[in-house]
Amino acid sequence: MKVLGIAVGLLVVCNVLTLAEAAEPPCSQEAPESCYDSHARLLLEDERPKEAIALLKEGAGRFPESRTLVFLLAKAYLADDNGFWALRVLNDWLTRHPDDCEAALWLSWAYLQQGSLDDARAALEEAACPNDGPPAARRHLLRSMIDRHGEASEEAGESLDLAYDAPETFPEDREAVARLKSQHDPWYMPPLSWRLELWGGWTSNAQAGSPKDPAQKTDDAGSAFGNFSAWLRFAPNFNFWLRPALEADARMLGYASKAGRDFSYLLLSGRPGLLFGGSRWSVLAAYRFESLLLAGGDRYQAGPLWFYQAHRGEVEASPWPWLTFFFGAGQRQFREMGRDRIEIDGGLGGGYRVVKDLNLMGALSGRWQDAENDAYDLYGGSLLFSLEYFLPYRMSLRGGFSTNIEYYPRSAGYFDTAKRRDILLKPTAGFWSPALKGLRAGLVYEFANRFSTADPYAYTDHRVMVKLVWPFSLDPWLPEAEAPADHAPLDWGLHGESEGGGERIQDLLRQDEAIQRGSSCVE
């Protein structure tokens, strides 16, 4: 009891000290301006705008000519959804300093956040800004955003191009330009991009989606598994309507259990092509080679074995930033006799921001395959969509659903059934961390259930996994980032736009490729 009393006493003392420290103001009456500046930035980074407002009001009262504290106070009000006071703070400053270009740009942004397009445009036109430097680039960026909200997409694209071509800009504006170009300009493609993914988890059925026909089902198919994939694209920009594009992709999936080990694989692919386009549209024509190395052997040879290779021509067209059409055709040659086939597939996919914190992406495709063995001829289609909801602290929830339907019209008697028909249903749900230098972690659950008139192809699978995703792009033609030491960064609110780890429509189409192949290839 004595020990317990001492422990309780220490806990009470620690709590009192903690409360006393929290109650003590971070900046004393004699504190310099830098104290309010640094503490307010930390509070805003921690998404504590009300505390930042209280601190900055005191700081602005003591240092009324501090432009940085005024900008930070306006930023705090906007973060607290109090646009009225953000506008009042900025207007009061501009009344005393009518020639302050950057303050006028902040005012235009605050009006835009309130949906007042005319006031935002008027503030932008009245801004006494130079014709070069970071403020000029920000002016182009703001004009693009105002025109975009006003549904003047052509003018918005021209202003965004001017912001992109500027020699220098503020650091946060540089990131905003890159994100908006990726979001709204189909022709824009960073010269170098990659996406690395590392997964680890457990599956209840390692045979689910196996690349080869299952010899027999087993009740003990659970396994730990690991997956690594690396995608790379090199597309140099020569400021011409035609540019080369080279993509390489490697995916490795390994199962730990004896029942699943033979279904581990390595998939390699390369896609050289040419990108045609203009400022608002693009068409990619490419050749794709794929080859899959399967860990398990067959009746003739022990594994690993090269299970198939494919040669395809592919076209992707983006007439609008939110929509992509895709088409592919070619030949896939299998190690198993009779499985070689001609395949044709196509479809469309796109993305749309439903509301401020909710992104929707989807893809719809169809396919036809003509195999040497008529039993493997098929018609099919698939539908995928993904929803991502952005939470505070830049975390997100992501849910998705995909379905795949395949019909084998000439399979009667071959699979011990009249005609084989498969239906795959696959919902997913995940929680994703904030991006750290682009790297995000996710905890993901997937459920898959394939119904089939041919019993060996039916399965149920539960998968729980931790994912690490790192997308990265490099564009040396973006403006140089320049900012003074006391620069107050403007929060453009684009954390949901192409956020690190967030899926692109191209990633969803890669999943569509996987779901198309059904039991004849990997998922």
Structure confidence by residue, pLDDT tens digits, 443-456: 999 999 999 998 88
Q: What is the pLDDT of residues 189-237, one digit of tens each?
A: 899 999 999 999 999 998 887 777 665 666 678 899 999 999 999 999 8
Q: Please check the confidence at residue 518 and state whether its pLDDT lies above 50.
A: no
pLDDT more than 70, % of the chain: 88
CATH topology assigned to domain 33-184: 1.25.40
| 147-161: average pLDDT | 86
Q: What pLDDT, on the 0 to 100 scale, is given for residue 214? A: 60
Domain borders along the chain are 33-184, 192-211+220-520
pLDDT of residue 516: 47
Determine what percent of the chain is predicted with pLDDT higher than 90: 62
Residues 432-464 as b or e (16 or more Cβ within 10 Å = b):
bbbbeeebbbbebebebebebbbeebebebebe
**Which pLDDT does position 370 carry in this prediction?**
96
Q: In the predicted model, is pLDDT for residue 378 greater than 80?
A: yes
Q: How far is CA 265 from CA 21, 356, 447, in A?
A: 57, 40, 21
Beta bridge partners of 444: 430, 465
Q: What is the pLDDT of residue 355?
A: 83
The chain-wide mean pLDDT, for the chain, equals 86
What is the pLDDT averaged over residues 38-61? 92
Q: Just give the CATH number of 192-211+220-520.
A: 2.40.160
Of 464, 384, 394, nearest to 432 (Cα)? 394
State mean pLDDT over 42-69.
92
The whole-number average pLDDT for the span 404-424 is 90
pLDDT of 521 over the 50 cut: no
> How much is the pLDDT for 272?
98
Render pLDDT for 450-497 as a digit per residue (tens, 0 to 9).
999 988 888 999 999 999 999 998 999 899 999 888 899 999 987 654
Least confident window among 174-183, 316-325, 512-521: 512-521
Structure tokens at 469: 């995703």
The answer on pLDDT for 27 being more than 50 is yes
Say if residue 8's pLDDT is above 50: no
Q: Give pLDDT, residue 512.
A: 52
Residue 74 has pLDDT above 50, yes or no: yes
- 506 pLDDT tier (thresholds 50, 70, 90): low
C-beta neighbour count of 291 within 10 angstroms: 15
Q: What angle do CA 121, 124, 126 make, to 5 degrees?
A: 110
Q: Per mean pLDDT, which range of 145-149, 319-323, 330-334, 379-383 is the poorest?
A: 319-323
Higher pLDDT among residues 5 and 449, named by residue: 449
- Asked, colleague to colleague, whether 33-184 and 192-211+220-520 share their fold, the answer is no
pLDDT score of 238: 83
The DSSP secondary-structure symbol of 391 reads: P
Output the pLDDT for position 213: 65
3-state SS class at 182: helix
CA distances, 77 to each of 62, 176, 319, 339 (Å): 19, 21, 39, 64
Mean pLDDT of 245-254: 95
Distance CA 128, CA 147 (A): 20
**Rounded Cα gap, residues 163 and 146, in angstroms:** 14
pTM for the predicted model, two decimal places: 0.81
Average pLDDT over residues 56-76: 93
* Lowest mean pLDDT segment, chosen from 209-213, 267-271, 335-339: 209-213
Please state the rounded mean pLDDT for residues 3-30. Answer: 51
Where is pLDDT greater, at 213 or 132?
132
